[in-house]
Amino acid sequence: MKFDIPVPCFFGKDDFCDALQKIKNCGFDTVETYNWSELDTEKVSETLEKLDMELISICTSDFRLTDISFQSHWLECLKDSIAAAKKLGAGMMITQVGQDTGEKREIQHSNIVATLRIAAPILEEAGIILLVEPLNVLYDHKGYFLPSSAEAFEIIREVGSENIKVVFDIYHQQVTEGNIINNIRDNLPLIAHIHVAGHPGRNELQYGENDYKVIFKALSDMGYDGSIGLEYNPLLPPEESLAEFRRIYI
């Protein structure tokens, strides 16, 4: 189990490579990011190698899976994103499923599954894991189709590929449903990445209602050996916030 830093959350206004150096100086070797198209992939790759750091995930460049009319476009964007991930050394990509289109829920659910089934062999050939992300609709993503982790796990089971799993965002699922530790434990083989933040506010972990010391111990005890992304908006200066995280939780 290791902790990674989503670069835009902490140093979004900095040059990406300068941000990598700051994160390295804070004692972290693993990062993730979102919009790969903003990056100079060659320069970033060189900087990662120089600093002995790993970029573990990027996002796909399109998220519209609920609407079947975007299937071909989403798949083309997936291929472009895979190419970028390979250049950057990222073994995972995060995708969202898009807004609720107003169509019957079972149809939108089936649309997601159908497109992911087509994507599965593409991802398997590339050796990339695609992460489907449920998000809360109460505060941050109103109108989003997939708030429930249970439905996300159902989708993954229906697709049936080891290269398509869930990114379990504890902040979003605390807003949506709670029961964090049991929901992770019961579905651990379907989870390839975890995000964390304090709720309410989506800020430092120590300011929220969850006891992350308990959660991290439970994850360790259940054998989770993936990465945990500190996807929060720091109230403290970024370097101070990361130093406090290390003091409290590592």
Which residue, chain included where needed, has tokens 């982790």?
149
Reported as a single tens digit per residue, the pLDDT across 185-205 is: 999 999 999 999 999 999 999
Structure token digits, residue 195: 């995000």
Q: Where are the alpha helices (DSSP H) in the chain?
A: 7-11, 16-25, 41-51, 71-88, 105-126, 149-159, 170-176, 180-186, 212-221, 238-249
Contact 45, 83 (CB under 8 A): no
* Residue 179: per-residue pLDDT: 98
For the chain, which domains are there?
Answer: 2-249 (3.20.20.150)
Tell me which amino acid residue 117 is. R
* Residue 45: per-residue pLDDT: 98
* Residue 70: per-residue pLDDT: 98
Percent of the chain clearing pLDDT 70 (strictly above): 100
- Give 68-98 as a DSSP string: GGGHHHHHHHHHHHHHHHHHHT--EEEE---
Distance CA 154, CA 148 (A): 10
Reported as a single tens digit per residue, the pLDDT across 128-137 is: 999 999 999 9
Band (158; pLDDT cuts 50, 70, 90):
very high
Distance CA 31, CA 145 (A): 28
* Residue 190: per-residue pLDDT: 98
* Residue 173: per-residue pLDDT: 98
Reported as a single tens digit per residue, the pLDDT across 13-51 is: 999 999 999 999 999 999 999 999 999 999 999 999 999
Distance CA 188, CA 221 (A): 12
Average pLDDT taken over every residue of the chain: 98
Task: Find all residues with CB under 8 Å of 216, minimum gap 6, and list them.
Answer: 1, 228, 249
Among candidates 77, 74, 14, which has minimal Cα distance to 237? Answer: 14
Residue 165, CA distances (Å) to 16, 120, 194, 212 in order: 28, 11, 11, 23
* Residue 31: per-residue pLDDT: 98
Band (106; pLDDT cuts 50, 70, 90):
very high
Mean pLDDT of 215-224: 98
* Residue 18: per-residue pLDDT: 98
